[in-house]
Structure 1
Amino acid sequence: MQNVKIQNPDMAWHLSADIRFPPGFDEARTYPAIITVHPFGSCKEQTSGNIYAQGMAEQGFVVIAYDASFQGESGGSPRWIEDPTQRVEDISRVIDYAVTLPYVDADRIGLIGVCAGGGYVVNATLTEKRIKAVASVTGVNVGRLFREGFSNYDPVGALNAMAAQRTAEARGAELQINELLPPSLEAARAKGLTERDVFEATDYYKTPRGQQKGGATRVLFSHAQKTLAWDAFAFAETLLTQPVLVVVGQKVGAFGAYRDGMEIYGRAVASRDRRLVSLEEWSHYDLYDRPEPVALAMDQLVPFFKSHL
């Protein structure tokens, strides 16, 4: 594995990325490449990198897992901004870097996104036709989630609060950085936060199971306005022409991955090859790192990308 700093000419900051290589890697050859995109509040050292990037590299792909702008080891200030437009632009910038690598075949590039990353990769694929195939693993349309559960189903109220906070910060107030999860499973139980996705997210992000320094599970509240007006799947019926694989778990949680996965699969009517993998016994966060559901997902991801890349 090689860590690199990606600095495009039009960027004021770098993106930090890990490149994982296939067994017997030979720089004189060219390989199909996959870019993996991490969830909201995550980092490249978690599921997008240490699970899906590593698994696909072992199957013969060059895989780039990176930290989003303003997050993890990537640059950008202020920190912890979750801006969907920027997140999608990051994907194009990583592709810009990938096509300069002599061992990457520029005509064989695919994407895998997990959770919010699954929504971002679908959205990027609508207009970024250098992407030849895309897979969403328990993908979430983060715009829909912000308009609903993350705003307590009061998106206009949330926008007014964000506006007031941004004005306060412009006048010198301290930044409001919202923590998305309880600090521990015990704290979640004490507050009665036992809903499946909230509790399982805490189990992943706040325990040694998945906890990493870069996976901060926080957001700068005052800069989240644009998220509420964003839709990962807009124009998918017309623009999502590339092959698409959607992996969902049927154990439903509040973050809506099953719902979003079924929606984009249904709307991907222009895709040359659309596939749905619906795993009956597994949940959203099981697909982050649990060996059995990850193996089931990989059983579909590997032949899908080998057939299209």
Structure 2
Amino acid sequence: MNTQSVNIQNHDMAWAISALILTPEGFDGSKAYPTIVSVHPFGSCKEQTSSSVYGKALAEAGYVVIAYDASFQGQSGGTPRYIEDPSQRVEDISRVIDYAVTLPYVDNNRIGSIGVCGGGGYVFNSALTEKRVKAVVGITPVNLGRLFREAFSEFNPIGALEAMAAQRTAEALGGELQVNELLPPSVEFAKENGLTERDVFEATDYYKTPRGQSEGGATRMLFSHAQKTLSWDAFAFAEILMTQPMMAVVGQDVGAFGAYRDGKEMYGKSFASKDRQLVELENWSHYDLYDNPEPVGLAMERILPFLAQHL
């Protein structure tokens, strides 16, 4: 596998998107390859699971993979920083595809997408309208709008929206930006303060230790600019618009972020899909599917035949 760093700047973009292009061993630039756009989780970056785990596995299997940083995050452009805007996240996928189709070694008729956690919700939502995507895989996919309306707002979405409105006004009047840290600072802090719910604790173990820690994976969010997330639904109109082959991979060890229910919901709604598949992995959790070799291997055993069939 070979890796190249690029900055994507299409003619309609106000800022560049930072990306890694992963190519297989023996890569021949004169040939056209099936290509996967790989989308990172909420609070993550391209150097983490989207490239180093799933991107690597797909490149080793013969695919060109483009893993990129979301706008306002990682090494991509856009200000203010740390904005999590679902509509922009979905638009980023199309802009990366706009770039991919200009590359001579990308087969424009064999483009797929894969996303982890929030990235899984984004690739599913993208595929509803982005029909250049011919097959889509969500790994432990999370519908971020649902999560914000529920656990992330402490089941008080109106209260959260009112607080965001007040904070945005304060910032417009010259106040400091409120950038919220999404996780405990360390595993030890989480233990000492009883923050041991499965997903919260395992996220801390991934993002706040050498296991998965990366400079670009900030696990931060600009609070005042998150309003639109609460009215967004990754799966809206999936019953009508999800026509491509789709696969949702979920772990049966359930946590508070809700990927298990979200993956099953998207699968259930995708009855217009040409081939819908739900992969449930017993005794594995949301964050196990980020980088644990055994469940990742089990997932890839299902993903690779699925992609080979449809790309």
Say yes or no: TM over 0.5. yes
1:230 corresponds, among 223, 232, 244, to: 232
Q: Which amino acid aligns with 1:135?
A: V
Q: Which runs of 4+ in 1 moved over 2 A?
A: none
CA distance in 2, matches of 1:193, 1:91: 34
2:193 corresponds, among 183, 191, 204, to: 191
Q: Which amino acid aligns with 2:133?
A: I
State yes or no: 1:94 paired with 2:113.
Answer: no
CA distance in 2, matches of 1:31, 1:40: 28
Post-superposition CA distance 1:137-196 (Å, at most 9, x none)? 000000000000000000000000000000000000000000000000011011100000
2:167 corresponds, among 161, 165, 176, to: 165
CA distance in 2, matches of 1:31, 1:271: 24
1:249 corresponds, among 243, 248, 251, to: 251
Aligned residues: 309
- Report what 1:80 is aligned to: 82
State yes or no: 1:18 paired with 2:15.
Answer: no
Q: Which amino acid aligns with 1:252?
A: V
CA distance in 1, matches of 2:284, 2:302: 16
Post-superposition CA distance 1:66-107 (Å, at most 9, x none)? 000000000000000000000000000000000000000000
CA distance in 1, matches of 2:43, 2:293: 22
- Report what 1:118 is aligned to: 120
CA distance in 2, matches of 1:69, 1:9: 16
CA RMSD of aligned residues (A): 0.4
Q: CA deviation at 1:281?
A: 1.1
CA distance in 2, matches of 1:231, 1:117: 13
Structure 1 SS opposite 2:133? coil
Identity of aligned residues (%): 72
Q: CA deviation at 1:261?
A: 0.5
Q: CA deviation at 1:9?
A: 1.2
- Report what 1:175 is aligned to: 177
Q: Which amino acid aligns with 2:220?
A: R
CA distance in 2, matches of 1:300, 1:19: 23
**TM-score where L is the length of structure 1:** 1.00
Structure 2 SS opposite 1:2? strand
- Report what 1:28 is aligned to: 30
CA distance in 2, matches of 1:15, 1:297: 28
Q: CA deviation at 1:23?
A: 1.4
- Report what 1:57 is aligned to: 59
Q: Which amino acid aligns with 1:27?
A: G
Q: Which amino acid aligns with 1:190?
A: E
Gaps of 5+ in 1: none
Post-superposition CA distance 1:248-302 (Å, at most 9, x none)? 0000000000010010011100000001110011000000000000000011111
- Report what 1:103 is aligned to: 105
Q: Which amino acid aligns with 2:59?
A: A
CA distance in 2, matches of 1:8, 1:169: 31
Q: Which amino acid aligns with 1:3?
A: S
CA distance in 2, matches of 1:202, 1:31: 37
2:7 corresponds, among 5, 18, 34, to: 5
CA distance in 2, matches of 1:48, 1:178: 23
Q: Which amino acid aligns with 1:125?
A: A
Q: Which amino acid aligns with 1:117?
A: G
CA distance in 2, matches of 1:179, 1:303: 39
CA distance in 2, matches of 1:99, 1:36: 15
CA distance in 2, matches of 1:241, 1:115: 22
Structure 2 SS opposite 1:132? strand
Q: How does 1:123-162 map to 2 (within 5 A)?
A: 123-162=125-164
